[in-house]
Each structure stands twice: as structure tokens, then as C-alpha cells.
Chain A
Amino acid sequence: MSLVNYATREITCKIVYYGPGRSGKTTNLHYIYSQVPADRKGNMVSLATQTDRTLFFDFLPLDLGSISGFTTKFQLYTVPGQVYYQTTRKLVLQGADGVVFVADSQVRQLDENIESLQDLHANLAEQDIDARTVPLVLQYNKQDLPAGLIHTQVELDDALNFRGVPSFGADALHGPGVFETLRGISELVLRKLSPSGGE
């Protein structure tokens, strides 16, 4: 859960970018890293394989500044998407305050998206967390590809968004949708700390 210090009025939240391999989770963090001024971010840590696939996680600390008088910091993580890194995904998911599910919009990747979403729910259940209570947004990445190769946002909502959570089309490589996704999950996570408590 979010760490809150009333004395110094600080909040720290953990956000995990989840999704199938090559859906663009690391690309989201790289884009955010490239946009944020140096004094508001830490070094981006990528524990990757030699082929540049995420081996353990990517990590990016962000200082969001003051929100309602609380200094607010976000820890952004990605999990490795490949099926065989199941143990690592569970470890990185521990203690997450919010999850961004990055789906690959390509038609041929739909089964991988569904499998990864099921994997997310199973891993949350294993930690005794009701997936319906975790702040979640969906990002449909690679919407810049030719129309014939990808599902539309409406089609992906039909296939993946059975909870009716906020969803965002994106082209994480070039930036569109990355900011909106981060804002969406930030709002859901912080709302849990507000009087409405996420209701």
C-alpha cells in the first residue's frame, strides 16, 4: 500500500506496468524518462538481458511534486513479459498500489494479451488481493500501426476491459497516450487516499 508520512507530508506509491512480452512496457518508461527534467527523476534502472529484453524489471523513480500539500513520489516498475519469468512477475507485483496493463494492439497478439491479463489476475489472487479492488488502467499500445494489423480501441475494450476501467490508446515509442495513461493510473491510486476512497 502507499506509504504516507503525516509528519513530513510525503506519499510514496508503487505503480507496475504489466503485460505480455514486447507490448511496450519498457518503452513507456523510456518515454517518461526522456520527458521528465533531471531534478524530478532518478536514474532509470533496467535489469535486461543481452538481447535487451527485460530480465528482472525496469525501475524509474519520479517526484510528482506537491499534491494536496503532500510531497508525492511514484515508483514505476515494469515486469518481464515472457511467460517463463512468472516468479519475477510475482515478486515485482508485490505491494503494487496500481497497475497499468499494456496490451499490444496487433491482431495476432490478442491471445497473448488475454493470457497476460489472466496471469495478472492469478498473481494478484495468489497474494490474496481481489483484482477488482486494485487500481487498474489499460493501455492499447501500437495504435500507430496500419489499421489492418491492429484491433481498434473499441474492439480491445470488448476483448479485455470487462471491468470497464479507464483505457487509453497509445504509441509509446513516440509518446501519444503515455502521459494520459500515467495520469489515469495516478488519479486512481491517489483517489484511494482521498475522502471518497476510490468509491
Chain B
Amino acid sequence: MQTAEAWVATPLRQFLDDARVRVAVLMNASGQVLGQAGFARSTDVMSACALAAAINATAGELGRQLEGKPFEGVHVAGRDQQAHLGVAPTPRGPLLLLSVFDEHTSLGLVQVFFEEFRARIAKAALAIDASAPQLAADFESDLNRNLAALFGRT
């Protein structure tokens, strides 16, 4: 498991252990990853988050147009694997948890443990310290070198 912010680690680990899902990705509503388990490449995680955030936004808007309130929670049942996307409100704004699971667990179990996760992550969000990040003052040289290398200009 990897986390982009340390405060999400314990609730996410607990959810993974309890629900026995194969893949779990926690993100904010803008699609920025906060923690994940099951992916090997960070760039694949970012793609999954962007798509999940889009699904959540689309489902929300669809619900507002059809029922006057956003649809919350999406479940997709595939042949061998299923996906569940849930929304967890926190003091730092809503977070999305995308889970992919197979026959080792069930939708019912995932939903039960997602409810517990919602409570834990909301509580964890209360305790965090949002201190300002700082790069070195001369970060530009690193940036220029890395971008030049990315574009094959070295």
C-alpha cells in the first residue's frame, strides 16, 4: 500500500484487511490520489483516479437531473471482477474510494466495510496538520533538467 498523505494510511489499511478487495484507490473529488493498494505503476493510479473522479461527477450530475439529488455510490458487476465507487464526506471535503474485488469477497461486505471506512477517514481528517510545503528556492534547475530529459533534449 502507498499513501500520498500519511493520515489516510490507517483507515485505508483497515478497509483493505476487512473487505479483502484486490485494488483500492482513495482520491479527492478532483481525482488526485491520496492512497492506493494493488497498482504497480503510479501513472496507472493517476489514470484510474481521473476516471473515477469523472464517473463520480457524472453520476452526481445525472442524479441531480433525474432525481433532484446526486447519485452516490456506483457499482459495476463484471464477469469475474466487480468495482465499487463510494463517497466519504470528511472535514477536508469529499473523498472517493474505488475498490475492485473478485470472488474472495462480496458487494455486501464491501459496502459494510466501506461504511466503517467512512467513519474512520472522517475522524482521521479532523486530526491532520496542513503545514505549508516547501521546495528548495533553486528548484528551477532540477525542473529544467528533468523536463529536458523527458523531451529528449539533453
Interface residues of A (CB under 8 A from B): 2-8, 10-12, 14, 35-37, 40-43, 45, 47, 56-57, 59, 61-70, 72-73, 75, 77, 87, 91, 94-96, 179, 182-183, 186-187, 190-191, 193-197
Contacts and interface: CB of A to CB of B under 8 A. Distances in A.
Given A12-B4, A187-B143, A94 B136 contact: no
Given A194-B134, A194-B136, 20 more contacts: A3-B32, A3-B33, A7-B6, A11-B133, A12-B33, A43-B47, A56-B54, A57-B50, A61-B42, A61-B43, A61-B46, A64-B143, A67-B146, A94-B29, A95-B31, A179-B153, A183-B147, A186-B143, A190-B135, A195-B134
B146 A65 contact: yes
Contacts of B139: 67-68, 190-191, 194
Contacts of B32: 3, 12, 14, 75, 95
B135 A68 contact: yes
Contact of B61 (A66, A77, A87, A194): A87
Contacts of A179: 147, 151, 153
Contacts of A70: 135
A75 B41 contact: no
A65 B137 contact: no
Contacts of B28: 95
Interface residues of B, number: 43
Contacts, number: 134
B46 A193 contact: no
A197 B139 CA distance: 12
Given A12-B33, A43-B47, A94-B29, A3 B146 contact: no
B21 interface: no
B133 A183 contact: no
A45 B49 CA distance: 12
A40 B54 CA distance: 23
A36 B47 contact: no
A193 B135 contact: yes
B150 A62 contact: yes
Contacts of B152: 35
A197 B142 CA distance: 17
A183 B143 CA distance: 8
Contact of B46 (A5, A42, A56): A42
